[in-house]
Chains A and B, each alone.
Chain A
Amino acid sequence: GAVVSQHPSWVICKSGTSVKIECRSLDFQATTMFWYRQFPKQSLMLMATSNEGSKATYEQGVEKDKFLINHASLTLSTLTVTSAHPEDSSFYICSARDQGRPNQPQHFGDGTRLSIL
C-alpha cells in the first residue's frame, strides 16, 4: 500500500533553533501534501497545503514566515519551524495523496514529536 515516510520522528532542541521536518511519499507521486499539527487528545489541525513547484497555502492563523514549507519534488515536502520556541512544541504530521487518484485517501506519516526547551 501507499507509504509516507516522515523524518525525524523526535526532535528536542533549544529555543531559537530552526528545525526541518521531511515528508516523503515512497511509492507514489504527490503534487499535494498536507501538514498538520496535533495537540494531546485533540484532532488534527491543518496548517498548510504544500503544492509541488509553487507556494504553499496556509490556513488562517498559521504564520507563513514561522512555518516554511518547500515542496521541491513530487515525492518530498519539508516543513521548517524557524526560530522555534516552547509554544511550538507539538506533534507535527504530514500526509500525501496519489496525484493520479483524487478520490483516494490521504496517507499519513508517523509524525514528528517536537520539543523545544
Chain B
Amino acid sequence: EDQVTQSPEALRLQEGESSSLNCSYTVSGLRGLFWYRQDPGKGPEFLFTLYSAGEEKEKERLKATLTKKESFLHITAPKPEDSATYLCAVQARTGNQFYFGTGTSLTVIP
C-alpha cells in the first residue's frame, strides 16, 4: 500500500537554528515526490519536485533531497517567515493520485 509518513509532527526552532524535516514513503514505483508549504487558511504552495534517488533541489534557505525510501527538507538559518506547515506528497507511476503526509508544523521563533 502506498504510504507517506512525515516527522516530526511539530518543530520549534530559534531563528538561525538549522534543521531537517523527514518524509518517509512507500510507493509502488515512484513517479515524483513533491514538497509543499501551507500557511494557515491557505492552499498548499508548491516548493519542489524530486524524481529520482540522489536528486537535490534548492530554493533560498530550503534544500530537498531524495533517497529510495525518504526525502529530507533541510532548512538553513530559518527566519520567522519560514513558519508554516510543510507537506510531502508522492505520486506513483500508475495513476494520477498524490498521497500526502500529515505534515510538519514549523515554528521559527525570533
Question: Footprint of B on A, CB under 8 Å?
Answer: 1, 4, 6, 32, 34, 41-44, 46, 49, 91, 93, 95, 97, 103-111, 113
Report yes or no: A43 in contact with B49, Cβ–Cβ below 8 A.
Answer: no
Report yes or no: B102 in contact with A42, Cβ–Cβ below 8 A.
Answer: yes
Question: Footprint of A on B, CB under 8 Å?
Answer: 31-32, 34, 36, 41-46, 49, 51, 87, 89, 96-98, 100-103, 105
Report yes or no: A43 in contact with B46, Cβ–Cβ below 8 A.
Answer: no
- Cα distance A93–B103 in the bound complex, in angstroms: 16
Report yes or no: B43 in contact with A103, Cβ–Cβ below 8 A.
Answer: no
- B34 CB contact (under 8 Å) in A4, A93, A105: A105
Report yes or no: A110 in contact with B49, Cβ–Cβ below 8 A.
Answer: no
Q: A100 CB to closest chain B CB, in angstroms?
A: 14
Given contacts A32-B96, A43-B101, contact A103 B87 (CB under 8 A): no
- Cα distance A32–B96 in the bound complex, in angstroms: 8
Given contacts A44-B87, A49-B96, A113-B41, contact A107 B102 (CB under 8 A): no
Measured between beta carbons, the chain B residues less than 8 angstroms from A91 are: 41
Report yes or no: B44 in contact with A44, Cβ–Cβ below 8 A.
Answer: yes
Report yes or no: A93 in contact with B87, Cβ–Cβ below 8 A.
Answer: no
Which of A1, A4, A43, A46 has most chain B Cβ within 10 Å?
A43
Q: B5 CB to closest chain A CB, in angstroms?
A: 11
- A108 CB contact (under 8 Å) in B32, B43, B96, B105: B43
Report yes or no: B41 in contact with A108, Cβ–Cβ below 8 A.
Answer: no
Report yes or no: B46 in contact with A107, Cβ–Cβ below 8 A.
Answer: yes
Q: A101 CB to closest chain B CB, in angstroms?
A: 11
Top 6 nearest A-B pairs by Cβ distance? A108-B43, A43-B102, A110-B43, A108-B44, A111-B43, A105-B46
- Cα distance A41–B85 in the bound complex, in angstroms: 9
Given contacts A32-B96, A43-B87, contact A103 B31 (CB under 8 A): yes
